[in-house]
Amino acid sequence: MAPKKTAFTIVRGGKLLDIAKRKAVAVDILIKGDTIAEIGKPGLAAPAGATVIDARHRLMHPGLINAHTHGPGNLAKGFHDRWSLELLLTGSQWVGIGRNLEDKYLSALIGAAEMVLKGCTAAYDLAAEFPLPSVEGLSAMAKAYEEVGMRCMLAPMVADLSFFEAIPGLMDRLPPRLKKDVESFRMAPWKATTKEMKKALQGWRFKDVHLAVAPTIPHHCSDDFLAACRDLSREYDVGVHTHVAESKVQVIAGYQRYGTTLAAHMDEMGLVNERFTVAHGVWLDDDDMKRLGDKGASVAHNPGSNMRLGSGLADVRGMLDRKVNVGIGTDGASCADNQNVYEAMRLASMASKVQGPDWQRWLGTDEALLAATEGSARALGLHKQIGKIAPGYKADIVFLDLHHVNWIPMNDPVNQIVHTEDGTGVHSVMIGGRMIVEDRKLLTVDLPKLAAQAAASQARRVKLTGEAKKLYEKLETVVGSFCPGLAKQPLHIHRYGASHHHH
């Protein structure tokens, strides 16, 4: 059999974003298979029979990359309004109860569909299964990304301690009957979880969905378990992604548990390196940032979630000053609630601009855009393949409609992608040389059918969800008074948006 000829595609008539020069340049792009072969002046030669894509009136930018999300959250969009991170963790059963394989697949599919429609071509997805991850569950989620046509770094989110066991003193505050109820939150022993992760890592067969390891939150894992995650990461050469210093409560719990910051403890355990990603990092101090920067680690900055959960405003300038690689994420739909990376960039810019009068230290739109492309790509460990439009990189290209009202007129395309674009100007999205979204239509998923499947899933789980919500409401009164008490303890850093004075 003759080898299959690699198909060529030529994109003609579009304007390519140049972030450094803050302008859009007329170019043609030649794509060989899934990879950019050449970028040249309009009229660039292409092999006979190449597929031609008309990109007139289009601004082309690299696919956005979501550095931190949770696929299982998509079925729980808008579940609750006023909840802190600690209340969200208390609600984990309510959010995720009764999920079968089909639900795991559906939830990931909903998120992937939303992301690609809004210009995002790859994501770091921390996916939880209760009480431990399964090869079948991970494969169901990977299949969803594969069907949509989106890239993913899929990380089973794991712990061997429940939230109630992880926060010192919390369990003692629960009345006896509630103590009994939270027994049901207990995670699997770490050896069983490690075995399941190893099984997934060994036999993984998906091409554009890769695996990583995500110990949920450091103090939700015993040291034995953290060591096991570190060893898996080394053995299979995969990334480690964990929620570090997301909330002030986490920092206080870390000091009580380890006598150090969470980042320092992870470093002592040998986890911090260039494959290590901190989610949120709102309450990292200068030493933590320096430690991460020196070791080449990343932070996934999720400004929307940090505001939504009242976690605070991360010091992104402090991170960049200390050479931390910063990516941008949306976080999950139970605390974000959309999966819109344009909005996440805009919020990253805005959040930095309310942190003080030194305007030169604010995050620039160029920095926000680089974080959501090259920075996120590096957090995913895919920076040699995605994150920019250049020869040798995968052809992951977003085509914005210059006749859309967001782009009338076009002044500075970098400012406008970050501050004006909200996803509604996305005309088409190409991933690996293949059109996934064209003329605002998602070509790979039937959305009305997806809506019906999601509704059927809701209906099937409604009784379980109702029971779990009742338990959440009982626990909310205890957690909702205990954790803010912890958060009012003095600390050497301040990251809340509200005034320093507690009346």
* pLDDT (tens digit per residue) in 212-250: 999 999 999 999 999 999 999 999 999 999 999 999 999
The whole-number pLDDT of residue 339 equals 98
DSSP 319-383: HHHTT-EEEE----TTSS----HHHHHHHHHHHHHTS-S-GGGSPPHHHHHHIIIIIHHHHHT-T
What's the chain's average pLDDT? 96
Spatial CA neighbour of 77 closest among 114, 117, 50 = 114
Whole-model pTM: value is 0.98
Spatial CA neighbour of 66 closest among 133, 114, 17, 16 = 114
The whole-number pLDDT of residue 503 equals 41
Q: What is the CATH number of the domain that holds 196?
A: 3.20.20.140
Q: Domain for residue 181, yes or no?
A: yes
Spatial CA neighbour of 70 closest among 133, 100, 112 = 112
- 219 and 152 together in one domain: yes
pLDDT tens-digit map of 151-164? 999 999 999 999 99
The arithmetic mean of pLDDT across residues 27-32, rounded, is 98
Residue 416: partners with Cβ closer than 8 Å, 6 or more residues away = 406, 407, 410
- 142 and 182 together in one domain: yes
Q: Domain for residue 110, yes or no?
A: yes
- 237 and 101 together in one domain: yes
Pairing of strands 434-438, 441-442: antiparallel
Distances (CA, A) of 480 to 146, 357, 444, 476, 487: 40, 34, 43, 5, 11
- 160 and 242 together in one domain: yes
Q: pLDDT grade, residue 37 (50/70/90)?
A: very high
Q: pLDDT grade, residue 6 (50/70/90)?
A: confident
Tell me which residue has tokens 């993984």.
Answer: 204
Q: What percent of the chain has pLDDT over 90?
A: 97
pLDDT tens-digit map of 481-496? 999 999 999 999 999 9
Residue 482: partners with Cβ closer than 8 Å, 6 or more residues away = 167, 169, 170, 173
The arithmetic mean of pLDDT across residues 287-315, rounded, is 98
Q: Domain for residue 290, yes or no?
A: yes
- 325 and 419 together in one domain: no
Q: How many domains does the chain fold into? A: 2
Q: What is the CATH number of the domain that holds 435?
A: 2.30.40.10
The whole-number pLDDT of residue 2 equals 56
106 and 136 Cβ atoms separated by less than 8 Å:
no
- 405 and 369 together in one domain: no
Q: pLDDT grade, residue 433 (50/70/90)?
A: very high
Pairing of strands 58-62, 51-54: unpaired
The whole-number pLDDT of residue 1 equals 60
Residue 347: partners with Cβ closer than 8 Å, 6 or more residues away = 303, 304, 307
Q: pLDDT grade, residue 184 (50/70/90)?
A: confident
The whole-number pLDDT of residue 414 equals 98
Q: Domain for residue 493, yes or no?
A: no
Q: Domain for residue 488, yes or no?
A: no
- 102 and 186 together in one domain: yes
Spatial CA neighbour of 107 closest among 80, 69, 134 = 69
| Chain Cα centroid distance, residue 234 | 22
Final residue before a domain boundary, out of 380, 408, 428 = 380
DSSP annotation of 257: H
- 156 and 25 together in one domain: no
- 175 and 268 together in one domain: yes
- 162 and 198 together in one domain: yes
Both tokens of residue 262? 């969470």
Both tokens of residue 95? 């959010």
The whole-number pLDDT of residue 149 equals 98
The whole-number pLDDT of residue 320 equals 98
Helix (H, G, I), strand (E, B) or coil at 51: strand
- In whole angstroms, what is the distance from residue 213 CA to residue 211 CA? 7
Domain range for 419: 8-62+390-442
332 and 69 Cβ atoms separated by less than 8 Å:
yes
- 434 and 337 together in one domain: no
pLDDT tens-digit map of 60-109? 999 999 999 999 999 999 999 999 999 999 999 999 999 999 999 999 99
Q: Is the pLDDT of residue 169 over 80?
A: yes
- In whole angstroms, what is the distance from residue 154 CA to residue 393 CA? 21
Final residue before a domain boundary, out of 380, 400, 432 = 380
The verdict on whether omega for the bond into residue 357 sits within 30 degrees of 0, i.e. cis, is no
- 366 and 223 together in one domain: yes
Q: Domain for residue 470, yes or no?
A: no
The whole-number pLDDT of residue 82 equals 96
DSSP annotation of 133: -
Q: Is the pLDDT of residue 290 over 70?
A: yes
Q: pLDDT grade, residue 435 (50/70/90)?
A: very high
The arithmetic mean of pLDDT across residues 165-178, rounded, is 96
Q: Domain for residue 203, yes or no?
A: yes
